[in-house]
Structure 1
Amino acid sequence: MTPEKDETQTKLKLSVVRDVSIVATLVVLGLYAGSAFLIPLTMALLVNVLIIALSDRIIALTRMPVWLANLAGVTVVLAGLFVIMYILGSQATQFARTIGTYENQFDETVNRVTGLVGNDVTAFIRDNLINIDMSFIARVLLGSATSLLNQFFLISLYVAFLMAERLAFRKKIQLAAGDPKTGIEFAAILDAISFSLQRYVGVKTLISLITASISYSVFKILGLEFAETWAVLTFALNFIPSIGSIIAVIFPSLIALVQFESIGPFLVIILGCGTIQFLIGNFLDPAFLGRSLNMSTFLVILALMFWTTIWGLIGAFLSVPLTVCILIVFSHIPALRPVAILMSLDGKLGEDIRPGNAS
C-alpha cells in the first residue's frame, strides 16, 4: 500500500471520528436542553408499553375483545400511576417539610448509638453527618416526584393518542418505508424494542410491587411514620439498577433509627428488608428476566450515571429501558453492530433480543 493511500485512509478515519463526536455531542446537548419535553414523552412511551403488555396478557387469559382489554389496561395502569404520584406529591412533600424535627432528634440518636459502636465510630458519624442538610436532600429527591404529578395529565394525553394509533402505526411504517424490505426490517427493530421493553417493564413492575408490598407490611407493623411514602419509594427505586434497592432500605432504616428510642426497628428494617431486597434482586429478578436484556453489567452502571447526569433522578429510572432501545437499534445497523456487541453481556446478538427467542 502506497503512503498516499495510507494518508487518505487515516484522514477518512479521523473525519469519521470527528463527525461521530460532533453528532454525539449534539445529541447529548439536545437531550439535556429538551428534557422538559422529552421526559414526559419518554414516560408516556414506557407507560404505553406497560399498558400493551397488560392488555395482551388480559386477552390471552380471558379472550376479551381487544378494545375492552386496552381500556382495562389503560384504566389499571393510569390509576396505579396516579396513586403513586399522588402519594409522592402529597405525603412525601409533608415529610420534606417536617424533616427538621428529625434533625433535632439526631443528637439523641447518636448518643444511643455510642454504646453500641464505640466513641470512634460515633465521632465519625457526628463529624460527617451533622453537617448534611437533610431537608435539602429530601427536596431534591422528592422534587422530581412532585414534578411528575404536575405532568400526569400530559403523560395521560400522550398515552391516549399512542393507544389510539397503535394499530395504524404499523401500516404507516410500511407506507413510509417505500421499499417493502426496508419496512420489514424497520418493523423488526420496533418489534424487538417493544418485546424487550414489555418484558423489562412488566417484570420489574411485578417484582417491585411484591417488594414494596412486603416492605410496607413491615413498616406498618413497626409503626414507621410515612409508611406509604417509603413503600412507594421502594417500588420506584427498584427500577434503578444496583443502587436503587440499597437506597430503598437505607432511608426508612435511618428514619426508624431516629423515630424510635430502641434500635430494634432499625435492625428489623435494615436486616429484614435488606434480606428481601437481596433475595429478590439476586434470585427472583434474574429468574424472571433471564437473558432477555443481555446487557453488560458495566454498561448498566455507566448508563445509570449518564442518564442521571442528563435527566436527573428521572433519568436514573429510565436508564435501563433507554439503553435497551439503543442496544437493539445498534444491533440492527451493520456499521454499529460492533458497538452493540461491546454493550452486550456475552457478545451474542440477534436471537437473544428478538421476540420469541429470549430466554
Structure 2
Amino acid sequence: MNKNYPFFIKAPIILLGLVISIYILSVLRDVLVPLAFASLIAILLNPLSTRLERHLPKIVSILLSMIIAILIVAGLAYFLSAQIAHFFDNVEAMKQKLSELLVIIQQWLEQTFGISTQKQVQMVNEAANNSKAIIGQTLSGALGVLSVIFLIPVYTFLIMLYKTLILNFLYEVFSEENQKKVGEILSETKAAIQSYIVGLLIETGIVAVLNSSALLILGVQNAILIGVIGAILNLLPYIGGIIAIALPVLMATLTQDGFTTQLLIIAAYALIQFIDNNILVPRIVSSKVQINALISIVIVLLGAALWGVPGMFLSIPFIAVLKIVFDRIDGLKPWGKLLGDNIPTEHMGQLKRLRRKKPALSEKI
C-alpha cells in the first residue's frame, strides 16, 4: 500500500482485510485444516520422495514415502495404545483417591473463600460444559473424522504429485521483476518448515526420553505414557509445558502419599525445560525464522480460538511463513521485525533525538 497514505486511512483497510480473512478461515475450517496439515507433511516428505525419484517413478516414490510415514505413525500409535492399556490397571484406586482429594479441596475453598459446595459444583459443571463445547468444536463437522483417515493422505499425495504445477503457478502469477523475490520466499519457506518440523520431531523424542526417565526414577505410575504425552504437549509453546508438568503432578497426587514426589517432579521438569530451551531448541530446532515469545503466545491462543487444537499446532509454522513474506516485501518489513526475536538496543525516538542534537563547538572547529 502506498506509504503516502496516512496511517488512519491504512489501518481500517488492514483491519477490514483481517476480518474478512479470519471469517473465511473460520467458515472453511473443515477444508483448510486438513489441507494445512497435508501441506506441512508434503514439505516434510519432499526430500525423501525426491531421493526415491532417482530410482523409481514419481508416483511410486510418493506412495512409498507416504507408506513409510504411515508406518512410523502407526508404530507410535501402537506404542501409546499399549501404554494406555496399563493406565486402567489401578483406575479404581485413583478414583477413590481423587474423591478424597476433591472433598479436601471443597472444604478448603469453603473455609478460605466462602464458596459453598453447591456453588463449586455449579462452577465445575459450567467448566465441563465449556470443555465439551471446545471438544465438540474440534471434532465437529462431517469432515472431522474423515480428514485424518482420508483427506490428509489424499491431499498430501496430490500436493506432492502436482508440486511442479503449483510452483510454476506461483512464479507465473507474479511479474518478472518480482520472480526473484518469489523464488527466495519459496526456498526459505521450504527450508524453514523442513528444519522446523524435523527439529521438533528430534526434540520431542529427546524430551520424551528425559521425561519418562525422570518419572521412572521417581516411581510415578504410567511414567512412559505421561512422559511421551508431556513431550507432545511441549510442541505447544509455553502453554503445553504447563500442562505437561500438571499431568505427572496429578498422577503422583492420586497414587502416592505426601508431596515430596510432586516437588521432585516439578524440579525435574524445570531442569528438563532448561535443557530444552537452552540446549535442544537452539541446536536442534535450527529454524531460520525466530518468532518472539509474545507473538508466539498470542498466535497460539488465536489459533486455538479459530481452529481449536489443530490451530494451536499450525499457528507457529503459519506465522513463520508470514515473517518470511514480510521480510521480503519493503512495505511489510516493519511487521516482520515485530514478529522477530531481534530486540533493538534503541528505539526510533532515541535515534531521531541523537540525529537532531546539535554538535558541540569543539566538533564544529
With the length of structure 2 as denominator, give the TM-score of the two structures: 0.71
Q: Map 1:1-359 to 2 at 5 A.
A: 13-52=7-46, 59=51, 65=55, 73-82=65-74, 102=94, 104-109=96-101, 131=121, 132=124, 150-153=146-149, 154-174=151-171, 176-177=172-173, 179-219=175-215, 222=219, 224-225=221-222, 227-228=224-225, 230-261=226-257, 263=259, 265-290=261-286, 292-346=288-342
Deviates further, 124-133 or 213-222: 124-133
How many residues are paired up?
327
* 2: CA distance, partners of 1:297 / 1:39: 24
Change (3 A) 1:290 1:152: closer
Change (3 A) 1:304 1:90: farther
Shift of 1:307: 1.3
Q: Quick check: 2:323–2:339 contact (8 Å CA) kept in 1? A: yes
Matched residue type, 2:157 = A
**Residue 269 of structure 1, CA deviation:** 3.5
Note the aligned Cα RMSD (angstroms).
4.4
The amino acid of 2:27's aligned partner reads: A
Go from structure 1 to structure 2 and tell me whether the alpha carbon gap of 1:274 and 1:337 turns closer, same or farther (over 3 Å shift): same
**Whole-angstrom CA distance in 1 between matches of 2:189 and 2:116:** 45
2-structure distance, mates of 1:281, 1:317: 18
The answer on whether the counterparts of 1:88 and 1:146 sit within 8 Å (CA) in structure 2 is: no
Give the superposition deviation at 1:261.
4.0
Matched residues in 1 for 2:138 and 2:7: separation?
45
Displacement of 1:25 in angstroms is 0.9
**In the alignment, is the contact (CA less than 8 A) between 2:300 and 2:316 conserved in 1?**
yes
CA 216–140 in structure 1, closer or farther in 2 if over 3 Å, else same: farther
Q: Which amino acid aligns with 1:242?
A: Y
Q: Per the alignment, in what secondary structure is the counterpart of residue 308 of structure 2?
A: helix
Q: 1:343 to 1:126 in 2, by over 3 A?
A: same
Please list the CA deviations of residues 79-131 of structure 1 after superposition, one character each: whole Å capped at 9, or x if unmatched: 334455678899879989x9897554235347999xxxxx9899769979975
Query: In the aligned structure 2, how far is the partner of 1:257 from the partner of 1:340?
Result: 45
Whole-Å Cα distance in 2 between the matches of residues 202 and 275 of structure 1? 23
AA paired with 1:275? L
Once the two structures are superposed, residues 241-288 of structure 1 have per-residue CA deviations (whole angstroms, 9 ceiling, x without a partner) of 122122112113212211234655544533334422331123211222
Asked if the contact 1:110/1:122 (under 8 Å) is kept, the reply is no
**Sequence identity (%):** 20
Stretch moving more, 146-155 or 130-139: 130-139
Question: How far apart are residue 74 of structure 1 and its match?
Answer: 2.3
Q: Deviations over 1:141-187 (max 9, x none)?
A: 8778877765222111111111212344333444x337444333322
Q: Hey, what's the Cα distance between the residues in 2 that align with 1:243 and 1:51? A: 28
Matched letter for residue 286 of structure 1: P
Instruction: Map Cα deviations across residues 182-233 of structure 1 (whole Å, 9 max, x no partner).
Output: 33332221111111111111101110122123333455673624853x3442
- Secondary structure (helix, strand or coil) at the match of 2:277 reads helix
Cα distance in structure 1, aligned partners of 2:102 and 2:222: 20
Contact 1:253 1:266 in 2 (8 A): yes
Structure 1 unmatched ranges of 5 or more: 1-8, 114-118, 349-359
Alpha-carbon distance in 2 for matches of 1:99, 1:136: 24
SS at match of 2:288: coil
Letter in 1 for 2:12: R
CA distance in 2, matches of 1:146, 1:14: 41
* Secondary structure at 2:17 match in 1: helix
Q: Measure, in 2, the Cα distance between the counterparts of 1:110 and 1:144.
A: 29
Pick which of 246-255 and 215-224 moved more: 215-224
Give, as a single letter, the amino acid of the residue that structure 2 aligns with 1:306.
Answer: L
Question: How far apart in 2 are the matches of 1:34 and 1:84?
Answer: 30
